[in-house]
């Protein structure tokens, strides 16, 4: 990357603006027939439900809901938020996001220094003991904190990157190699932004998050478009299709395990269906060891993850 002058500390995300846009975009996704309301003949100037229709469904006055959608969530009750969440057909993740935005946890105004993310020694031992299973620990803002050799073999030589660049969002949107690595890159990109949006709802004052969002917004049109949708999603489980430069296509199931002693850290593991070609491909990568993780096709030649620890 080109050297750039040191930037000023970025401003935190505007929680009121976030609340306003989140409610507006959720309302725009619903049609009267979706919620059992009659559809009148006159044309709608904007897509989705009108404010008065949403207020009716939630059992609140139009003026009250309008103030809330304008970002004024002060003193709103949990019962009202629950009613609005039901009216908007929010998912559990969207419901939690709404609560974070409308009823933020009380905190001191003085900005605290960024928390250093550390991975427990026991987790590092656990990662290394997972023979044949790609696994890594993700932290705040989708930072990649620790990984085992199999994760490096599948996803690339993260150890060759500066620590600040070991971030899933940066890799997905700014590295051409990761567009080739994920067969359904659009889905991966959408999920990535949805995770960041959910994190932003509970950590709007995180200056590193603001800097990351600012950088990606400047450098990626796709990120700007997805960020504007205000979609939120929790990490969970699913299937990723990967086109590996050495062993070809892989179909891998992933599981995301939240760590009980750090709400921002998650253990993510990948596995292939027993007896599948992907299992054989993972075994082949495991037999190559560190050499598989040093391929310059993915992220450039460099050290293996073992050198990092």
Q: Could you tell me if 119 and 145 are in contact, meaning their C-beta atoms sit under 8 angstroms apart?
A: yes
Q: Give residue 139's Cα distance to chain centre.
A: 11
Among the residue ranges 11-15, 19-23, 33-37, the one predicted with the least confidence is 33-37
pLDDT digits (tens, 9 = 90+) for 23-80: 999 999 988 877 777 665 556 666 788 899 899 999 999 999 999 999 887 788 889 9
C-alpha span between 204 and 209 (Å, rounded): 8
List the alpha helices (DSSP H) in 139-276.
Answer: 149-155, 168-174, 176-181, 185-202, 207-219, 221-227
Please write the tens of the pLDDT for every residue from 116-161.
888 999 999 999 999 889 999 999 999 999 999 999 999 998 999 9
108 CB-contact burial (10 Å; exposed 0-12 / middle 13-18 / buried 19+) = exposed
Long-range contacts of 126-133 (CB under 8 A, 24+ apart): 126/267, 130/269, 131/286, 132/282, 132/283, 132/286, 133/269, 133/270, 133/271
First to last CA, the chain: 25
Phi-psi region of 89 (alpha: psi -120 to 50; beta: other; left: phi over 0): left
State the Cα–Cα distance between residues 211 and 10, nearest whole angstrom. Answer: 6
* pTM across the whole model: 0.83
Compute the distance between CA of residue 179 and CA of residue 186 in angstroms, rounded to an integer.
9
Task: Say which range, 8-12, 100-104, 269-273, has the weakest mean pLDDT.
Answer: 8-12
pLDDT at position 107: 52
The position carrying tokens 């593991």 is 269
215: which 2 tokens? 């950088």
Report the pLDDT value the prediction gives residue 39, as an integer from 0 to 100.
65
106 pLDDT band, cuts 50/70/90, is low
């Amino acid at each position: 990357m080109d050297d750039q002058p040191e930037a000023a500390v970025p401003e935190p995300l505007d929680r009121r603006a976030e609340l306003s846009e989140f409610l507006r975009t959720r309302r725009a996704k619903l049609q009267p027939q979706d919620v059992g309301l009659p559809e009148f003949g006159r044309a709608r100037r904007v897509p989705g439900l009108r404010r008065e229709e949403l207020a009716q469904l939630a059992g609140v006055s139009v003026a009250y809901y309008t103030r809330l959608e304008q970002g004024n969530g002060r003193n709103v009750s949990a019962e009202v938020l629950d009613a609005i969440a039901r009216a908007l057909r929010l998912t559990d993740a969207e419901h939690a996001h709404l609560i974070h935005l409308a009823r933020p946890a009380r905190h001191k105004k003085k900005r605290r220094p960024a928390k250093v993310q550390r991975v427990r020694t026991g987790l590092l031992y656990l990662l290394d003991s997972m023979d044949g299973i790609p696994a890594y620990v993700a932290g705040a803002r989708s930072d990649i904190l620790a990984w085992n050799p199999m994760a490096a073999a599948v996803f690339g030589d993260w150890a060759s990157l500066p620590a600040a660049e070991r971030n899933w969002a940066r890799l997905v949107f700014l590295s051409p190699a990761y567009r080739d690595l994920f067969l359904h890159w659009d889905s991966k990109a959408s999920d990535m932004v949805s995770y960041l949006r959910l994190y932003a709802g509970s950590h709007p004052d995180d200056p590193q998050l603001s800097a990351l969002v600012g950088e990606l917004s400047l450098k990626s049109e796709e990120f700007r478009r997805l960020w504007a949708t205000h979609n939120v999603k929790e990490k969970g489980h699913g299937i990723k299709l990967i086109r590996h430069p050495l062993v070809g296509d892989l179909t891998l199931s992933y599981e995301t395990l939240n760590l009980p002693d750090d709400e921002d850290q998650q253990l993510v593991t990948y596995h292939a269906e027993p007896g599948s070609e992907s299992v054989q491909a993972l075994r082949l990568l495991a037999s190559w060891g560190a050499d598989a993780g040093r391929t310059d096709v993915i992220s450039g030649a460099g050290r293996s993850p073992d050198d990092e620890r």
